[in-house]
Amino acid sequence: MSGPDQMEIDLSTLLKLNIPIELCLLAHNADGSKSLLSTKQFDWRFALAHGGINVSLELAGVDAKSKLAVGVIQVFEDFFTFELKK
């Protein structure tokens, strides 16, 4: 696959990347300030081998609230390929 409208991606190179996705949950307060409620990292590379990921992540609080769950978020991640045609 080559040409100006096509790009090759080497999946084996992507698998070597050890950089997780980090989700940050913020609260936007009435006074315009923002508060960090939770952060969560997860490994996205699993989706490369399986074409996608569907996972529930429990979000823990930060600081003194770290033992309390803020909530659960459902994450969907799909990888797809496409070709651009003129």
Please give the residue that has the higher pLDDT: either 24 or 80.
24
Residue 86 lies in a domain: no
So what's the pLDDT on residue 32? 94
Number of domains forming the structure of the chain: 1
The 10s digit of each residue's pLDDT in 36-54 is 989 888 887 777 777 778 8
Residue 74 lies in a domain: yes
Q: What's the rounded Cα separation, in Å, for the pair 76 and 15?
A: 19
Residue 48 lies in a domain: yes
Please give the residue that has the higher pLDDT: either 7 or 38.
38
Residue 5 lies in a domain: no
Q: Encode burial over 46-74: b for 16+ CB neighbours within 10 A, e otherwise.
A: ebbeeeebeeeeebbbbeeeeeeebeeee
The 10s digit of each residue's pLDDT in 11-31 is 677 777 788 888 899 999 999
Structural domain including 51 reads 11-78
Residue 43 lies in a domain: yes
Strand partners, 54: 76
Indicate the burial class of 37 (C-beta count within 10 angstroms; 0-12, 13-18, 19 or more). Answer: middle
So what's the pLDDT on residue 84? 47
